Amino acid sequence: MTLHSTIDRVTDRIRERSSKTRSAYLDRIAKAAEEGPRRAHLSCGNQAHAYAGMENKDDLAASRKPNIGIVTAYNDMLSAHKPYERFPELIRAAAAQNGATAQVAGGVPAMCDGVTQGRAGMELSLFSRDVIALAAGVAMSHDTFDSALYLGVCDKIVPGLIIAAGSFGHIPSVFVPAGPMPSGLPNDEKSKVRQQFAAGEVGRDRLMEAEMASYHSPGTCTFYGTANSNQMLMEFMGLHLPGSSFVNPGTEMRDALTGAAVERAASITKLGNDFLPVGEVLDERAFVNGIVGLMATGGSTNLVLHLPAMARAAGVLLDIEDFNDISDNVPLMARVYPNGLADVNHFHAAGGLGYMIRHLLEAGLLHEDVRTIAGGGLDRYTTEPKMRDGRVVWEEGSRDSQNDKILRPATDPFAKTGGLKQLVGNLGRGVIKVSAVAPERHVIEAPARVFTDQEQVKAAFKAGDFTTDTIVVVRFQGPAANGMPELHSLTPILSVLQDRGLKVALVTDGRMSGASGKVPAAIHIAPEAANGGPIAKLRDGDMVRLDAVNGGIECLAEDFDSRDCATHDLTPNQFGMGREMFGAFRRAASDATEGACAIL
Binding residues for [4Fe-4S] cluster: 154, 221
What region does 423 belong to: left with phi over 0, alpha with psi -120 to 50, or beta? beta
Can you tell me the distance from the alpha carbon of 392 to that of 256, in angstroms, rounded to the nearest whole number?
6
Measured over the CA atoms of residue 323, residue 328, residue 331 and residue 334, the dihedral's sign is positive
Direct distance between the N- and C-terminal alpha carbons of the chain, in angstroms, rounded to an integer: 37
Neighbours of 127 (CB within 10 A): 26
> Which among 286, 337, 296, 295 has a CA at the least distance from the CA of 320?
295
Q: Are 543 and 503 in contact (CB under 8 A)?
A: no
Count of all residues that appear for the chain in the document: 600
Beginning with the edge strand found earlier in the chain, give each strand of the sheet holding 173-176 in spatial order.
101-107, 67-72, 147-151, 173-176
Distances (CA, A) of 387 to 95, 238, 257, 395, 546: 20, 21, 10, 10, 51
Identity of residue 86: R
7: CB partners within 8 A, 6+ apart: 288, 292, 326, 329, 364, 365, 366, 367
Q: Are 286 and 370 in contact (CB under 8 A)?
A: yes
Q: Are 433 and 519 in contact (CB under 8 A)?
A: no
Can you tell me the distance from the alpha carbon of 568 to that of 447, in angstroms, rounded to the nearest whole number?
22
DSSP symbols for 452-504: SSHHHHHHHHHTT---S-EEEEE-S-SHHHHS--B-GGGHHHHHHHHHTT--E
| Secondary structure (3-state) at 57 | helix
**What does the H/E/C string look like for 372-428?**
CCCCCCHHHHHEEEEEECCEEEEEECCCCCCCCCCECCCCCCCECCCCEEEEEECCE
- Taking CB atoms within 8 Å and a gap of at least 24, the contacts of 11-16 are 11/284, 11/285, 11/288, 11/367, 13/322, 14/284, 14/287, 14/288, 14/316, 14/317, 14/318, 14/322, 15/284
Distances (CA, A) of 229 to 25, 232, 360, 403: 27, 5, 17, 20
How does 172-203 read in b/e, with b if 16+ C-beta sit within 10 Å?
bbbbbbbbbbbbbbbbeebbbbbbbbbeeebe
**Binding site residue list:** 154, 221
Neighbours of 319 (CB within 10 A): 17
